[in-house]
Amino acid sequence: MKAFITVIGHDTVGVVAKVAGLCTELNINIEDVTQSILQGMFAMIMLVDISKCSVSHEERMPSFMPDKFEAGTMNLPGIMGLHEALCWLKGETIDAVRAHELALTEQFLDGALSIPNLRVVGRRDVTGRVGVVSVAPENADPALVADALGQEHGIMVRVGLHCAPNAHRTLGTYPTGTIRFSFGWHNTPQQVDTALSALRELCGRAVWN
């Protein structure tokens, strides 16, 4: 994902270094820069790649806007959604939902364990599991594989450290993290097969652009 950063202000020593240092801290890659002095004012435009902009490896809330307020903002849409979900769950029953999710999880685990260049992280069966599975490709950065799953196959996953850097240190998946698949009531066995087919293709890919 590309973005432009514009810097305008009084010309001072070290301004470029300060901006570049902040970009480094936030894992923002600077791809091109143009700068000038206009009537004593410093002006700079930077083309940057923000696709990996994150501080999820930190256990403290970031100091920059708007992320600094994330922890203190009540999740009202989430609360409303939870209420509706609980009402729905009373009708379907927890046992039925869990049985469906674990059936899909078992199907996914059985297929994923046979894919070359793919590591299943955590338990290899459904004992003590919920409908969530993390995998780590051994032939590419997980972020590349996750992006290809979405862009090329229409499969949405969550990739990275999942707000749990110490858990990934324990699992040996730090700092790149894992790709996390979640299975729910509205997913189907056919969708699981599609996900496995996509993973098999991507984990066999020799060249990544």
- Active centre residues (catalytic): 163
Closest CA to 172 of 133, 105, 119, 108: 119
| Lookup: tokens for 46 | 């930077």
Q: How many CB atoms lie within 10 A of CB 112?
A: 21
| CA atoms of 97 and 105, how far apart (whole Å) | 12
Place of tokens 């009531």: 185
Cα atoms in the 13 Å half-sphere on the side-chain side of 36: 3
